[in-house]
Amino acid sequence: MISGAFIFVAATYLVMLVAFRLSHWRVFHVTVMATIMLIDMLIPVYLVFTRDWYLRLIKQEEIFSFMIWMHVILVLALYALYLLQIPAGRRLLRGEEGIRPDHRAQGIGILIVRGLVILSAALLIEPATPPPV
């Protein structure tokens, strides 16, 4: 069974792809991208409040899992790209056209890394245990 959070994040990825493609619609592009960045920053908070992380990471010893660490590193890389992208986008909005190639390259990097973050999260979804028969 696919998690509701995963479906939501996958849907935001599709919206992000559309906003990337429609970057000439500046208001739509900026609004969607900023909203998705904010959502990505709040997802860890949501997961902490809705999942039993102590059980999964400590008691089940998944803290030593390569997959967990790969996912964490990808998330940190995504956040680093966001930190680079925001000032580049602001400079572009101010009319500095010279930053456009960097902004586009960072945007492509964000799409790739965010796709990998979603994929690694999908691999980490713990299936619900069926009720005993």
Residue 129 has pLDDT above 70, yes or no: no
Q: pLDDT-based confidence at 127, cuts 50/70/90?
A: low
Residue 10 is encoded by which pair of tokens?
């996958």
Q: What pTM does this model have?
A: 0.87
Give the 3-state secondary structure of residue 6.
Answer: helix
Which pLDDT score, from 0 to 100, does residue 3 have?
77
Q: Are 118 and 9 in contact (CB under 8 A)?
A: yes
132 or 64, greater pLDDT:
64
Condensed to tens digits (0 to 9), the pLDDT of residues 71-123 reads 999 999 999 999 999 999 999 999 999 999 999 999 999 999 999 999 998 88
Number of other CB atoms surrounding residue 120 within 10 Å: 17
Which pLDDT score, from 0 to 100, does residue 82 have?
97
**Torsions phi, psi for 128 (to 5 deg):** -65, 140
Closest CA to 59 of 126, 4, 119: 126
Q: pLDDT-based confidence at 5, cuts 50/70/90?
A: confident
Where are the domains positioned within the chain?
Answer: 4-124
Q: Are 16 and 36 in contact (CB under 8 A)?
A: yes
Q: pLDDT-based confidence at 128, cuts 50/70/90?
A: low
Condensed to tens digits (0 to 9), the pLDDT of residues 26-82 reads 999 999 999 999 999 999 898 888 877 777 778 777 778 888 999 999 999 999 999
